[in-house]
Amino acid sequence: MKASWTKRTLNLKQPAGTSRGVIKSRDVWYITLCENGITGIGECAPLRGLSLDNFDQIESKLEEVCANPKLFINDLSSLKDFPSIRFGLEMACFDLKNGGGQNYYGSFDSIEINGLIWMGNPDFMMGQVEQKLDEGWTCIKLKIGALDFDSELDILRSIRSRFSRDELELRVDINGAFTENDVREKLNRLAEFDLHSIEQPIQPGQWDLLAELCESSPIPIALDEELIPLINDAERIEMLENVNPQYLVLKPSLLGGFSETKKWIRMAKERNIGWWITSALESNIGLNAIAQWTAKMKPDGFQGLGTGQLFTNNIPSPLTVKSGKISTDQSKIWNDVNQFISEWYSTNIEMDLKTSGSTGKPKSISVKKDWMQNSAELTRKTFGLKKGDSALLCMPMK
């Protein structure tokens, strides 16, 4: 088995605001596993300020993993301090096992998801809301907590004046912005808007206060950041039994992958705690894997899987989002496209392709990746091609 990794910087179409700050771009790392002519690909997508991963050590850890992948595959728990790498390796293993082509858990029809409203000035946030409503979304989540609270209440008031709870489900995500001094008052003021839930109202680690809030809050509380630092079952059980939240927000990229997230689901079900799955600004490779797995889990309610549309330079994907649902194009061509993407990010410097067949039976050829990239870039510059233009490229052979 051969393993390799590569880094990619994703640029957001517009800055995304949260109570932790504004995100303009983010880095992800792809890990590929090649064996018996098959390539599996996984994505490591840590988030600064949230993930347990030490960003200064991610690439050295990836080097260590790729030098001896089977050692880590046989003991994923050895990557407990690098949950995003653990997830990326687990993802690549599933892809490899299932024949490549990003076929992690199989295709699915559709999953209901919430529309996400990022922080900004009131006009910017209201513009996002209007767009989602025009597109037919029936569940919207707003990130609030860092701006003028009265202005944020005005946005919620405007939405509720037009749509009842039966017509539109509203969720809010605070990202821990409330304090012990103001959280009770703010929860009471938010209660008038018939909210489905409020995510992480205070900073993690305040279990006594959280337990009180979960018992007395007029709005059901969902825990998000609270889960990330809890890496063993004993800690998780202690938190759930002390705090007794109404919901858990589960992000596989930040929790260490599918196997660890399934543990959270089992613990939640045993305690009658609701849950949903959320992506965490992965590229379409990670989002595709998470969506396939989510469909397999058959969750209730709306999931948080709509972030793939945020980037200007995302990876091509069979995923589409429309009217509050994410679905996958099940055309066979996407298996070929995904196979190509996985092979492109593999350790091999050449790719085995076939000619078009326009002058006879297609023939096998080997092409160096850097030659392909340089040829495509030169063609783009020579003809002034822009995004959306099409061209038939004649690739240089070795």
Report the catalytic residues.
143, 251
- Selection from 216, 225, 120, 119 nearest residue 176 by Cα: 225
Beta partners for residue 368, in sequence order: 350
Q: How far apart are CA 340 and CA 327, in angstroms?
A: 21
Q: How far apart are CA 268 and CA 171, in angstroms?
A: 20
| Contact call for residues 289 and 94 (beta carbons, < 8 A) | yes
Dihedrals phi, psi of 377, to nearest 5 degrees: -65, -40
Three-state SS string over the chain comes to CEEEEEEEEEEEEEEEEECCEEEEEEEEEEEEEEECCEEEEEEECCCCCCCCCCHHHHHHHHHHHHHCHHHHHCCHHHHCCCHHHHHHHHHHHHHHHCCCCCCCCCCCCEEEECEEECECCHHHHHHHHHHHHHCCCCEEEEECCCCCHHHHHHHHHHHHHHCCCCCCEEEEECCCCECCCCHHHHHHHHHHHCCCEEECCECCCCHHHHHHHHHHCCCCEEECHHHCCCCCHHHHHHHHHHHCCCEEEECHHHHCCHHHHHHHHHHHHHCCCEEEEECCCCCHHHHHHHHHHHHHHCCCCCEECCHHHHECCCCCCCEEEECCEEEECCCCHHHHHHHHHHHHCCCCCEEEEECCCCCCCCCEEEEEHHHHHHHHHHHHHHHCCCCCCCCCCCCCCC
